[in-house]
Amino acid sequence: MNTIVVDREKCVGCKLCYRACWRDVIRWDEKENVPRGVYMEDCAECNWCEIICPHEAITVKIDYSRPFPSPYIPGKN
C-alpha cells in the first residue's frame, strides 16, 4: 500500500493537501493540526497533495508491488 510521510517541521497546517485529496485518503488531525493518510488503499498516487504543498512537507511513497488484475485472460498471467 502507498504511504504518506509528513514532515512536521515544514507543515504549516494550511490544509491544502487535505483539500486536494479527492479520494478522501487524507484526513485532517485537528488536535495535532497535521494531515494523516488514513485510507491509503484509495490513494490514486496523483501526487496532488505533494504538488500543492507550498513547503514540500508531504510525500507519497508509491508501493509498486501492489497487484494488478489479470490483464488478458481471467485468472491467468
Partner 1 sequence: MPQGLDTQVYETDILVVGHGIAGLAAAISAKENQPSLRVTTVDKGCVGYAGKANKGGGHVAFIPEGGEEQYVEYHTRNLGDYLNDQDMLRIYANSTLKTLGRWESWGVKFIIPRERALNAHPIIPWKITLVDLDVMVQMGRYARELGIKSVEKTTIIDLLRKGDRVVGAIGFDLITGNTIIFKAKAVIMANGNQNWGIVPMWSSGRGDGIAAAYRAGAKMRNAEFGSFIQIVHKDSKTVSYGAEDCLYNAQGENVSTRANLEENLRTVVGGVDLGGSQSVLMYLEVRDGKGPIYEKVEENKLPGSFIGRNLCCQGTADPPFYRPWAQKFWDRLNAKNRAQCPGFDVPLRESVPAVVGEMSPLYVDHNMYTGVPGLYAAGDICANGSAWSGAVPTPPGRNRGSGLMHAVLTAIIAAKSACEYAAAVSWEDPEPDQIDALRQRMYANLNNRGAIRPTDMKWQIQNIMQPVAYTGYKREDRLQEALGKVLELKGMLPDLVARDPHELASVHECINTVLCAEMFFRASLARKESRGWHLREDYPHRDDKNFLKWIVIKDNNGEMELSLEDVPIERYKYKPE
Of these, 32, 33, 46, 55, which contacts partner 1 (CB under 8 A)? 46
Q: Is 3 in the site for partner 1 (CB under 8 A)?
A: no
Q: Is 69 in the site for partner 1 (CB under 8 A)?
A: yes
Contact at 8 Å (CB) between 54 and 13? no
Nearest-angstrom CA–CA distance, 18 and 34:
9
Cα–Cα distance list, 13 to 18, 32, 42, 72 (Å): 10, 9, 23, 45
Q: Is 13 in the site for partner 1 (CB under 8 A)?
A: no
Of these, 4, 6, 11, 43, which contacts partner 1 (CB under 8 A)? 43
Residue 8 CB, nearest approach to partner 1 (Å): 22
